[in-house]
Structure 1
Amino acid sequence: MSGASRSALATSEQVNRDALLVELLADPALIEARDRVEQLYLGDPFCGRSAAGIASAADAAASITAAAVQHALVSDPSRPAFLWSACAAHAWPGLAVPNSGYGIDNPDNVHRRTAIDGVSSYRISVQVPPRPAAQFSFICYGQPEADGPVTREGAAIASVLLSHQVTPDAEGRFEVTVGPEPVPGSAYHLVSAPTSTWLLVRDALTDWETQEPLHLEIERIAGPEAPPAQSRAELVEIAVANTERLSRYWLAYNNELLYGPRPANRLPQPVGRPFGASVAAPFALGAGEGLLVTLDPGGCDYLGFEVTDPWGVTRPAVDALGGLNNRQALANPDGTITYWVGPADPGVHNWLDTGGLDAGLITARWQGGTLDAEAPPVRSTELVPLAEAADRFGPEHQVSAQQRADQLRRRAAAFARRLG
């Protein structure tokens, strides 16, 4: 692998594509596509008429449109490239990149996406940093995202490789191949399906202040002759189609899997996934209320708990507390973690800030371990008046205004490390 940059994300390819992202978002066709998404949301029977839904629809539409453009920028399987996407707003020198979260995104995860196809073979060269993520995963999907009936993962998964299955060499390097058939000499191979179109690498960072994502390079090593590179007009066309497909699919996901079948303020037990377990549910707060949630990490390396707007976009989580993982939260004496979810600061460390919204979604994720089936990790969810919130936590959880400001300052500085 060629010399890795100090930041795995601050590559010239990433910055150049982010600049093109910002440029394309100003195209009239994408502005119109974004506006259609906002109207789609406002016409939704579950959330379109709610105060929280109305207040957040425009920002959520802009965010999923940005994600749709990101997907277009890495949609050529003959020229694979990893792009950091579905992420919080950030800035490179002279360039402000907007939020691109959607589909119940996670501020602890670094998602990098690339196009593949079901006939070519690819080689990914990986350098593990000195302090890697609590878990990293390589996920080869078997079909385009948001194409077909709603599923829990957004698309069928063809194959998965998890960090605990990998043994890097003495210098922290390893290679992963991807393709329809094993590659001779490859220790780690992801089998693609004939209908595969993309691959995701996910780094779950529990300690933002020290952990770093993997350094990645990808090349196509076998496949049919490459067609001409996509033109700007073609990228816009792909991005507009992505915007339409993603917005309708993830709206249906929320409605069919969450708002329709699940009552508000009741978080069920998690369900297993190929790389962990997770659960999501709606929340709805009355005036002066918050939701008190207690979770058990269950011995897993990672437990993340996030709050989103009604459309599944995580609330601001860099300069505010839209999510807390098990390293960032304070645990109870028995090892469980209790959180306060609400729009007002309760004066305790484990506050999930809804950013002024009284409704949306809450999501918990467990990764890097196996949950004990005999010890349900969702311990309780309870509506509690704000006036009683602080009394439900021990004195060690109480924070002053200055301590809250320090917590947020450290959080923003820790996120900035990802940028180099």
Structure 2
Amino acid sequence: MAEQIAPNILDYLKDGVDEALSQIANSWRPDDPDYRADMYRQIMMMLSYGYFAYFHADAEHPDWSPLWNPVYTLQPNPDDIYYYAPIRGDLTYRVSGDRGTVKMVTFNTQRGISGMIDDVSEVGGYNDLDDRDLQVGPNGELEIIFSTERPAGYTGNWSKLAPEANVMMVRFRSYDWAGERNPDLSIECLDKVPLKARLTSDEILERIRQIAKMPGRATKLFFAMQNGVKERVGINVFEPVRYQGALSKQVYWPAVFELEDGEALIIETELPDVRPYWNIQLNDPYFNAVEYVYRLSSTNGAMAKISSDGKLRAVIALEDPGVPNWLDPAGFKQGTIYGRWYDCDSNPTPIIKRVPLAELRKHLPADTPTVTPEERDAELRARIRAAQRRRRW
């Protein structure tokens, strides 16, 4: 029997939103009204994303939804365009189309995803491949079959699908935002399935309840991650980590940053000899990527200027320090830094130096160039154009 429909949709949202609001207590400044307002914004962001996650597609009728892109900001990598599709481990799927010219395309199938599962320890990753593992046609043609068993006689790209898998995640990873073209891929279920049906009232209500849970689930996870770094190593110290499952080839180097007006943080690191991909980005105190279209809050191996001694030096400062590799925290004096070494031959741990901004150049190589206001303006305008011309959702 169908559930009796309540007269107010808020009845289905209240418990989940209340749980999300309770997470404000786990923020770094729970009594700060600006922090609370930012948390309200974050909750609205997750609720709006929830419609895509729960109503756009299903495992028998898969389609791509945007995931963690500039609007849905829970710590997306600025170099990545993310897509999500619901799948089922007992079905067979084909992903096909044009690989594009981005630096890398990665595919992950897994059980559960942050924001859509109560216990994040239940998330399991089963596939972790990038297009370097795949056959790609001379004009970028790409086809992959995902199934529990390789189809008889099939010699093309195949990836084993675990019975428990219910998520496929794809990343279009770009280095040169202006010069690379995104992939153009479709996903389809190859099994005989019924036509996509109208949802029942019970199905709609349950999905609304699940949407309401997303802000609390995600915030609980990400606050625990950033607070854990702070508790274990303190501020302005990196703590490298490698996760199993999705992107197991990748070593992250997170840190909690903190600075004041008139200060600068210098991030300094050796670079691996073999480095297919690396980047660094800033997040705000709620684990959202700092604005990265209209702010220079990230850099990568194609954008960054390397010092004459072969090291990377990037500078976090609240105002333009006039040197290469400025990481602009957009007014935030606290947040997290996330760097990535992807499939590198070594994984050096960077260091952070906290110095007076007026003395910055004393701590940099003597030949560090000056970036003029005109050059910075041109750099930012080029970034804005490149970011907007990428297909982000």
Same fold (TM over 0.5): yes
Structure 1's unaligned 5+ residue stretches are 1-26, 89-98
Shift of 1:30: 9.1
Shift of 1:380: 1.9
Matches within 5 A, 1:19-98: 36=18, 39-44=21-26, 46-49=28-31, 53-54=35-36, 56-88=38-70
Is 1:268 aligned to residue 239 of structure 2?
A: yes
Structure 2 partner of 1:109: 80
Distance 1:45 1:208 in 2: 33
Tell me which of 409, 416, 419 is aligned to 2:381.
Answer: 409
Structure 2's unaligned 5+ residue stretches are 1-8
Classify the secondary structure of the residue corresponding to 2:302.
coil
Q: 1:371 is aligned with what amino acid?
A: D
Q: 1:266 is aligned with what amino acid?
A: V
Is 1:381 aligned to residue 344 of structure 2?
A: no
Structure 1 partner of 2:6: none
| RMSD over aligned Cα atoms | 2.9
| Percent identity for Structure 1 against Structure 2 | 19
Matches within 5 A, 1:11-410: 36=18, 39-44=21-26, 46-49=28-31, 53-54=35-36, 56-88=38-70, 99-102=71-74, 104-129=75-100, 132-146=101-115, 147=117, 149-150=119-120, 155-184=123-152, 185-222=154-191, 225=194, 228-230=197-199, 233-234=204-205, 235-255=207-227, 257-271=228-242, 273-298=247-272, 299-367=274-342, 369-372=343-346, 376-393=347-364, 394-410=366-382
CA contact (8 A) 2:88 2:163 kept: yes
Distance 1:148 1:240 in 2: 12
Distance 1:29 1:251 in 2: 27
Classify the secondary structure of the residue corresponding to 1:397.
coil
TM-score normalized by structure 2?
A: 0.85
Count of matched residue pairs: 374
Distance 1:328 1:378 in 2: 20
TM-score normalized by structure 1?
A: 0.80
Distance 1:390 1:87, change over 3 A: farther
Distance 1:33 1:419, change over 3 A: farther
Shift of 1:182: 2.1
Distance 2:258 2:123 in 1: 29
Distance 1:228 1:287 in 2: 57
CA contact (8 A) 2:87 2:166 kept: yes
Classify the secondary structure of the residue corresponding to 1:217.
strand
Distance 2:19 2:324 in 1: 36
Distance 1:144 1:282 in 2: 24
Q: Deviations over 1:48-73 (max 9, x none)?
A: 34688456433333333333333224
Between stretches 198-207 and 216-225, larger displacement belongs to 216-225
CA contact (8 A) 2:109 2:128 kept: yes
Larger Rg: 2
CA contact (8 A) 2:20 2:216 kept: no
Q: Deviations over 1:122-160 (max 9, x none)?
A: 11113122xx22221111113344536546xx9311112
Q: Deviations over 1:312-364 (max 9, x none)?
A: 10100001012111211211113321111232221222111111111111000
Shift of 1:287: 3.9
CA contact (8 A) 2:226 2:256 kept: no
Distance 1:382 1:182, change over 3 A: same
Shift of 1:204: 1.4
CA contact (8 A) 1:69 1:242 kept: no
Q: Deviations over 1:364-393 (max 9, x none)?
A: 0122x4232xxx522421111111224434
Distance 1:315 1:207 in 2: 20
Classify the secondary structure of the residue corresponding to 1:76.
coil
Q: Deviations over 1:289-326 (max 9, x none)?
A: 22210133413122110110111101000010121112
Q: 2:124 is aligned with what amino acid?
A: A
Shift of 1:206: 0.8
